[in-house]
Amino acid sequence: MLIGLLLVSLAAISWGTTGATMALLARDTHLSPLVVGWARLAVAAPVLLVAAGVAMGRRSRAALRVPGRGGADGTAVRSSPDARDVAAYVLLGLSMAAYQACYFRAVTLTGVAVTALVAICSAPIMIAILAALVLKESIGPVVCLSLGLAVVGTALLVVGPRAPHEMAGPVAAGVSLALGAGASYAVYAVTAKRVLAATAPLSVAAITFTLGALFLAPVLAGEPASRADLARGAPLLLYLGLGPTALAYALFSLGLHRIPATAAGIASLLEPLTAATLGVLVFGESLGVPGAIGAGLLVSALILLAARRPEARPR
């Protein structure tokens, strides 16, 4: 449980650097949010495919040395996907592509604050509901308390010192897209959890990002992406694809393999905490009293999850 939470938390911390990277790209280039979102997938996909291939070879050699070796629970874990999982992988790719399109487009309509508040805070609730319906995960009192603390804490953290008028009057389409981003992430997390029961994490991540990049490519028609902008933004785009995307989602998949989807959804809320911390340290922003309280609630939620007794874990 602790190792799984640590891996998901590290992934969320890496995701938290995405906002700062986007801010730097917006300052130095004219690349549209959709182009940046597609670049994340396009850079991450080949890296994950190579990593999955290497892991598959090692796993195959280990299986030859130790016949019948399976997962930690005694079940067989495939290093490569099965034809029966085609629908699940298509759903993973579509949800990943939809998240990029919904989230980054919502930012242009309602701003970063409202989009983050709606998308990031709604995702754990949707994950908990979907996990209970699809994965039959029970939601005990500790998870409910952690979920409540995390959502409230994240909301306070995102709002922070902003004045009410800065959060008011969001465009209905933007809010709908932000909710779509939260729903897309929830579908990804729950579907990945189900597939990871029988397939190696790196294989799942590699196929997801490859399909996501392919599904998102048609949306790029008409988006500004000059060669000069791509050249100027290349270092940041590479970092975005390798760090907060390839490495982070590989860690997330490895962690999700070990813990319930609901717990992973709560732990991933470290993303806005990281983003807020970078805003304070790098960009001179202030959390304010609400933001500080929110950070405390979020950390408390993670401590509750980590300290939960084994018999209280969801099925």
Number of domains in the chain: 1
What percent of the chain lies above the pLDDT cut of 70?
A: 79
Q: Which domain holds residue 261?
A: 2-312
pLDDT for 175 equals 75
Tens digits of residue pLDDT in 136-169? 877 778 878 887 887 787 777 666 655 555 555 5
The CA distance from 253 to 215, in Å, is: 21
Name which residue leads in pLDDT, 38 or 139.
Answer: 38
Residue-wise over 282-314: b if at least 16 C-beta within 10 A, else e? Answer: eeebebeebbbebbebbeebbebbeebeeeebb
Beta bridge partners of 199: 78
Average pLDDT on 170-175 reads 69
Compute the Cα dihedral for 132, 135, 136, 141 and give only its sign. negative
Q: Report which listed range, 22-36, 53-67, 116-130, is most confident.
A: 22-36
pLDDT for 315 equals 41
DSSP string covering the chain: -HHHHHHHHHHHHHHTTHHHHHHHHHHH----HHHHHHHHHHHHHHHHHHHHHHHHHHHHHHHHHSTT---TTS---BSS--GGGHHHHHHHHHHHHHHHHHHHHHHHHHHHHHHHHHHHHHHHHHHHHHIIIII-----HHHHHHHHHHHHHHHHHHHTT--HHHHS---HHHHHHHHHHHHHHHHHHHHHHHHTTTB-HHHHHHHHHHHHHHHHGGGGTT----HHHHHHHHHHHHHHHIIIIIIHHHHHHHHHTTS-HHHHHHHTTHHHHHHHHHHHHTS----HHHHHHHHHHHHHHHHHHHT--GGGS--
Tens digits of residue pLDDT in 87-100? 899 999 999 999 98
Tens digits of residue pLDDT in 183-199? 999 999 999 988 888 88
Tens digits of residue pLDDT in 233-276? 999 999 999 999 999 988 988 898 888 887 888 788 787 778 77
